[in-house]
């Protein structure tokens, strides 16, 4: 069949496996990225492998999450990452340079390359035709060591775009429309490939917004062609020599097709507390807005912030609405400054924050108690903002700035004539000199490790059988934010698994940690789409450290499933979802791990002899990894 872009890139990087949807494939990885919240653990894992140098074409270590330097923990982590990068051949991006995905798009992403990153929004690079996927830190560490990256061959969904955006509709509204159509689990096992005549009307910043937030669909990744729009973007970034055309064959075939008419879109918003609770902005007219926040890796580009500045020019934000603006990179700031677009934002009353993730990861900028915050971010999970009862709505920069001016949701028909869409200039000021490139030989570099950085725990192999209790029962759509909350206090402990484990499920059930410490081990019972959201492997590492042996759920999110396998937690799926209601917290179970075949049905028994049928979608190799006690143990065994 005619090749689509996704299959072309996979075919070029295929090490083993068949390109049949659902089959396990191994891919060669060209590039990796890490960020500081997940990067310290990934670097510790790479060091544990014992190689003198990374083996990828490019690996970049970004500092953009834990930038609040309250005490020694975060600065020590940054120093560790800087010295680690110099020793092992990694490019280092210091705190304040920008957000990893915006920086990678501007400086390093390339069409046709494979990229995995220890952040779930790594698919941002799909905006320029890179096959970019979020992964757990251990998977990234192994890719840095030259190992293959294993995934299930995804289905490829053609998102056929027709027409062109009109009025106040924006790229963000394209992905919000998809989320409203397909839900947060509608993309599991799929790549969304954008095609059709509407594609050429979207700029790279708009495309990157769409691929970034494709992660909320649960997708493996999302990708756009590399075409004339992409070439113009690379030319602006001073990288036209790195551009290559990458298009689907004219007779390309797809597993599914979704149709979206860009001309029919209007400003949309995702309501609390899920990105798929989508409605039109006009439907919420009259709802007071306490805060607006523009930025994050989704909408912090030059185009987003120029649009914001022009809308604010000569105006003031509503007296009862705070406006926060987080530029995506120092390059974005320099581009705005060159056009005198900083002052309009400041004069309007906006707060200009550092070029970091900031409020999106709960690092400052929290809304008031029960406050309504309209954010251009990608997630609005309960409590993620830092305010447990904060009411977070997700929208485009165009929508957020207009609501900040009005102080409430209004009908976009009242916003006046929409301005012309922002085009990139012919050239952007380079900030390449702000990256720290590694020396040719790092043998003499000393890696500096602070007291908050705790070496990796060594996990024991899984026993043949174990008797455990259900120590926590949770509902559908449990996110990694539920499992391990974000925010300044907790995120500063990402290098210290014993310390951060004290917060596992702390916002769901304060008694969980005490219960599992008392029992020594246990299992978690969950509903649909367990573990959606961030790629933070700490949401698997922490439970494993505490003694979680298995999770029994109705369905799992892709990256969290991989993290469970990587750290030796057995992921079991209920054959009969009704059995979820028959199990309760405190129930005793016997799990005969040695009798659980890969990809097949088995049974666990309760204390009163009741049989619960479970299955799994594990490969033979994944089951071996779990039984070995995790991927590091497995790799060491293979090397031995």
Mean pLDDT of 537-551: 95
Same structural domain, 495 and 357 = no
Q: What is the DSSP string of 448-502?
A: P--TT--PPPPPPPPPS-EEEEEEEE--SS-BHHHHS--SHHHHTTTT-HHHHGG
Same structural domain, 207 and 327 = no
- Encode pLDDT of 447-466 as tens digits: 999 998 988 878 999 998 89
In a domain, 44, yes or no: yes
Distance between CA atoms of residues 486 and 362, nearest Å: 6
C-alpha torsion sign, points 180, 363, 96, 79: negative
Indicate the pTM of the whole model.
0.93
More confident residue, 333 or 607: 333
| pLDDT, position 640 | 67
Same structural domain, 486 and 532 = yes
Distance between CA atoms of residues 352 and 356, nearest Å: 11
In a domain, 212, yes or no: yes
Same structural domain, 306 and 251 = no
Q: Using omega within 30 degrees of 0 as the cis cutoff, is the peptide bond preceding 136 cis?
A: no
CB neighbour list of residue 629: distance below 8 Å, 6 or more residues apart: 459, 460, 461, 462, 568
CATH number at residue 187: 3.30.499.10
Q: Is pLDDT of 173 > 80?
A: yes
Same structural domain, 170 and 238 = yes
Domain termination residue (choose one: 381, 412, 443): 412
In a domain, 11, yes or no: yes
Mean pLDDT of 74-98: 97
Same structural domain, 178 and 326 = no
In a domain, 303, yes or no: yes
Distance between CA atoms of residues 28 and 168, nearest Å: 41
- Encode pLDDT of 370-405 as tens digits: 999 999 999 999 989 989 999 999 999 999 999 999
User: Percent of the chain having pLDDT more than 90?
Assistant: 88
SS3 content of the chain, % helix, strand, coil (to 5): 35, 20, 45
Report yes or no: 498 and 454 within 8 Å, Cβ to Cβ.
yes
Distance between CA atoms of residues 223 and 504, nearest Å: 34
Domain termination residue (choose one: 262, 297, 332): 262
Report yes or no: 129 and 31 within 8 Å, Cβ to Cβ.
no
Considering just the CA atoms, what is the radius of gyration of the chain in Å? 24
| pLDDT, position 70 | 80
- Encode pLDDT of 325-365 as tens digits: 999 999 999 999 999 999 999 999 999 999 999 999 888 89
Domain termination residue (choose one: 262, 290, 309): 262
Q: Which domain holds residue 568?
A: 466-639
pLDDT band, very low/low/confident/very high, at 1 (cuts 50, 70, 90): low
Report yes or no: 630 and 137 within 8 Å, Cβ to Cβ.
no
Same structural domain, 86 and 188 = yes
Same structural domain, 197 and 240 = yes
Same structural domain, 633 and 495 = yes
Same structural domain, 289 and 384 = yes
Which two tokens mark 204? 């790279």
Report yes or no: 262 and 201 within 8 Å, Cβ to Cβ.
yes
In a domain, 103, yes or no: yes
Q: Is pLDDT of 214 > 70?
A: yes
How many separate domains does the chain show? Answer: 3
Q: What's the chain's average pLDDT?
A: 95
Query: Ramachandran region of residue 163, left (φ > 0), alpha (ψ -120 to 50) or beta?
Result: left
Q: How many Cβ atoms sit within 10 Å of the Cβ of residue 611? A: 9
Length of the chain: 640
Strand partners, 540: none
Distance between CA atoms of residues 43 and 492, nearest Å: 16
CATH number at residue 525: 3.20.19.10
Same structural domain, 81 and 220 = yes
The pair phi, psi for residue 37, each rounded to 5°, is -70, -30
CB neighbour list of residue 489: distance below 8 Å, 6 or more residues apart: none
Q: What is the DSSP string of 9-32?
A: HHHHHEEES--STTSEEEE---EE
pLDDT band, very low/low/confident/very high, at 280 (cuts 50, 70, 90): very high
Distance between CA atoms of residues 352 and 342, nearest Å: 9
In a domain, 441, yes or no: no
In a domain, 215, yes or no: yes
In a domain, 418, yes or no: no
The pair phi, psi for residue 496, each rounded to 5°, is -130, 90
Question: Running DSSP on this structure, what letter comes out for residue 552?
Answer: E
Same structural domain, 225 and 312 = no
**Cα-based torsion angle of the residue sequence 404, 407, 413, 418 in order, rounded to the nearest 10 degrees:** -20
Starting at the earlier edge strand, list the strands of the sheet with 291-294: 278-280, 268-270, 391-394, 372-375, 291-294, 322-325, 351-352
Q: Which residues are catalytic?
A: 64-65, 119, 379, 534, 536
Residue ranges of the alpha helices (H) in 534-618?
A: 538-546, 558-566, 579-582
Which among 376, 433, 342 is positioned nearest to 172, based on CA atoms?
376
């Amino acid at each position: 069949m005619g090749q689509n872009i996704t299959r072309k890139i996979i075919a070029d990087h295929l090490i083993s496996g068949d390109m049949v949807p659902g089959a396990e494939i191994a891919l060669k990885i060209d590039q990796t990225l890490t960020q500081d919240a997940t990067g310290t653990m990934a670097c510790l894992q790479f060091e544990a492998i014992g190689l003198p140098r990374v083996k990828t074409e490019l690996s970049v270590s970004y500092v953009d999450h834990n930038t609040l330097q309250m005490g020694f923990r975060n600065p020590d982590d940054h120093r560790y990452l800087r010295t680690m990068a110099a020793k092992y051949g990694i490019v280092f991006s210091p705190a304040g340079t920008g957000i990893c995905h915006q920086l990678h798009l501007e400086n390093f992403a390339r069409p046709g390359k494979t990229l995995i990153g220890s952040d779930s929004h790594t698919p941002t690079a799909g905006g320029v035709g890179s096959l970019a996927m979020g992964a757990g830190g251990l998977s990234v560490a192994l890719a840095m060591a030259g190992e293959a990256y294993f995934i299930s061959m995804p289905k490829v969904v053609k998102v056929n775009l027709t027409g062109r955006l009109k009025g106040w509709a924006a790229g963000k509204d394209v992905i919000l429309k998809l989320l409203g159509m397909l839900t947060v689990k509608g993309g599991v096992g799929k790549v969304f490939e954008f095609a059709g005549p509407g594609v050429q009307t979207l700029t790279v910043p708009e495309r990157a917004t769409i691929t970034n937030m494709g992660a909320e669909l649960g997708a493996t990744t999302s990708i756009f062609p590399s075409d004339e729009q992409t070439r113009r973007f690379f030319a602006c970034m001073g990288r036209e020599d790195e551009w290559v055309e990458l298009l689907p064959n004219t007779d390309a075939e797809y597993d599914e097709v979704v149709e979206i008419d860009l001309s029919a879109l209007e400003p949309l918003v995702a309501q609390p507390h899920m990105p798929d609770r989508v409605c039109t902005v006009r439907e919420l007219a009259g709802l007071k807005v306490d805060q607006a926040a523009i930025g994050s890796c989704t909408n912090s580009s030059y185009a987003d912030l120029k649009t914001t500045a022009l809308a604010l020019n000569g105006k003031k934000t509503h007296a009862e609405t705070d406006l926060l603006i987080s530029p995506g990179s120092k390059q974005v700031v320099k581009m705005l400054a060159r056009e005198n677009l900083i002052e309009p934002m400041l004069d309007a009353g906006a707060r200009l924050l550092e070029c970091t993730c900031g409020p999106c990861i709960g690092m400052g900028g929290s809304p008031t108690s029960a406050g309504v915050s309209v954010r251009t971010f990608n997630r609005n999970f309960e409590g993620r903002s830092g305010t447990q009862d904060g009411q977070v709505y997700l929208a485009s920069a165009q929508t957020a700035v207009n609501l900040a001016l009005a102080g409430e949701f209004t009908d976009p028909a009242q916003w006046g004539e929409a301005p012309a869409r922002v085009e990139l200039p012919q050239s952007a000021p380079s900030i390449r000199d702000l990256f720290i490139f590694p020396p040719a030989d790092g043998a003499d570099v000393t890696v500096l490790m602070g007291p908050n950085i705790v070496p990796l725990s060594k996990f024991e192999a899984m026993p043949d059988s174990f008797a455990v209790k259900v120590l926590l029962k949770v509902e559908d759509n449990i996110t990694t934010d539920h499992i391990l909350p974000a925010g300044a206090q907790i995120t500063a402990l990402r290098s210290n698994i014993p310390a951060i484990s004290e917060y596992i499920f702390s916002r769901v059930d304060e008694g969980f940690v005490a219960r599992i410490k008392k029992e020594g081990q246990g299992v978690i019972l969950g509903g649909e789409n367990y573990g959606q959201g961030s790629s933070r492997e700490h949401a698997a590492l922490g439970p494993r450290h505490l003694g979680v042996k298995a999770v029994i759920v109705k369905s799992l999110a892709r990256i969290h499933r991989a993290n469970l396998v990587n750290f030796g937690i057995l992921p079991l799926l209920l054959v009969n979802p009704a059995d979820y209601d028959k199990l309760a917290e405190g129930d005793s179970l016997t799990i005969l791990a040695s009798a659980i075949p890969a990809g097949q049905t088995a049974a666990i028994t309760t204390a009163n002899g009741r049989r619960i049928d479970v299955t799994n979608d594990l490969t033979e190799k994944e089951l071996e990894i779990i039984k070995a006690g995790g991927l590091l143990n497995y790799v060491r065994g293979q090397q031995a």
